[in-house]
Amino acid sequence: MRVSVLGPLTLGLGARSGVPSAMKPRKVLSLLLLHAGRMVPVQSLMAELWGDHPPRTGLTTLQTYILHLRKLLAEVLGMPSAAVTRDVLQTRPGGYAMVVGPGQLDVHEYRALVAEGEGALEAGDERTADLSFRRALALWQGPALVDVTPHGRPLQAEVARLEQSRLTVTERGIETRLRLGGHLEVLSDLASLVVEHRFHEGMHGQYMLALHRSGQRTRALTVYQRLRMTMTEELGLEPSAKLQRLQQAVLVSDPRLDHEAGAPGRGPVVA
């Protein structure tokens, strides 16, 4: 069985799919998968389905959805319903739990790769870290659970956590490639990212640094001026002191910005 939540919701074995067509059972399945191996309280599942005002028949309806999911899983996995109830979609005191095996759920693989990358960075092995971060981000096939909408509060919180992690890992991956001298390689990614994340100072700083190292100092300064204008007009804020120092360093072509002078973010210029 292969299960994905980093993009459209998928659950299947070969050509057989265990994703229900109706949206409410899809939401139940999604929440169970995001907490795979752990019990999801009935109250959380009902809050996902109906918010603060579940119907009087809410518990019975939820139980019907669970039965439907178990039937689908039995068909996909070729297992008796009793085995699915015992080993896959379990009833536990106070709620339900979805059990998946090692390597079956993409978000588990993603988190393992991120941890591997962070560990490699701590050990000073930037090439391994770069590979781990790339592999982690390659698992994403679009926004998390993009086809399960609208999200209730429980799913919204979990999806927001995943999307923030994706953004952080993207930034960490670019930082690692800059340390390895890959400033030309990251330019196209950063050009897109600063448009998508208009107020993300870290990514703007990375873009400025990559442009500077690629011999495009004027463009690097333009990136700063555009961000400053957007921030002052829409937020009434100036860029951070860190970004202002980077802008000054680019203005004077401070040699400490060059890759050969050291890894980005480690010297006083951009600290």
Residue 225 CB partners (closer than 8 Å, separation 6+) = none
Per the prediction, the chain carries an average pLDDT of: 93
Query: Rounded to a whole number, what is the distance in angstroms from the first to the last CA of the chain?
Result: 46
User: What pLDDT, in 10s, does the model give residues 151-189?
Assistant: 999 999 999 999 999 999 999 999 999 999 999 999 999
Residue 266 has what pLDDT? 40
- pTM equals 0.89
Residue 65 has what pLDDT? 98
Reported confidence tier of residue 268, pLDDT bands at 50, 70, 90: very low
Whether the pLDDT of residue 91 is over 60: the answer is: yes
Mean pLDDT computed over 10-35: 94
By the 8 A CB rule, do 180 and 121 touch? no
Residue 135 CB partners (closer than 8 Å, separation 6+) = 113
Question: Which of residues 265 and 86 earns the better pLDDT score?
Answer: 86
By the 8 A CB rule, do 203 and 193 touch? yes
Reported confidence tier of residue 96, pLDDT bands at 50, 70, 90: very high
pLDDT exceeding 70 applies to what percent of the chain?
95
Whether the pLDDT of residue 271 is over 70: the answer is: no
Whether the pLDDT of residue 264 is over 80: the answer is: no
Mean pLDDT computed over 26-34: 97
Alpha helix (H) ranges present in the chain?
Answer: 23-34, 42-50, 58-77, 81-87, 106-122, 126-138, 153-179, 183-196, 201-213, 217-234, 241-251
Question: Which of residues 49 and 266 earns the better pLDDT score?
Answer: 49
By the 8 A CB rule, do 169 and 136 touch? yes
Whether the pLDDT of residue 74 is over 90: the answer is: yes
Hey, is 30 helix, strand or coil? helix
Residue 267 has what pLDDT? 38
By the 8 A CB rule, do 197 and 142 touch? no
Whether the pLDDT of residue 235 is over 50: the answer is: yes
Residue 259 has what pLDDT? 65
Residue 110 has what pLDDT? 98
Q: Which domains does the chain have, with CATH numbers?
A: 1-96 (1.10.10.10), 183-259 (1.25.40.10)
DSSP β-ladder status, 89-92 and 95-98: antiparallel
Task: For residues 209 and 188, give the distance between their C-alpha atoms in angstroms, rounded to a whole number.
Answer: 13
Greatest alpha-carbon pair distance for the chain in Å reads: 71
Reported confidence tier of residue 14, pLDDT bands at 50, 70, 90: confident
Mean pLDDT computed over 8-29: 94
By the 8 A CB rule, do 147 and 23 touch? no
Give the least confident one: 8-22, 57-71, 85-99. Answer: 8-22
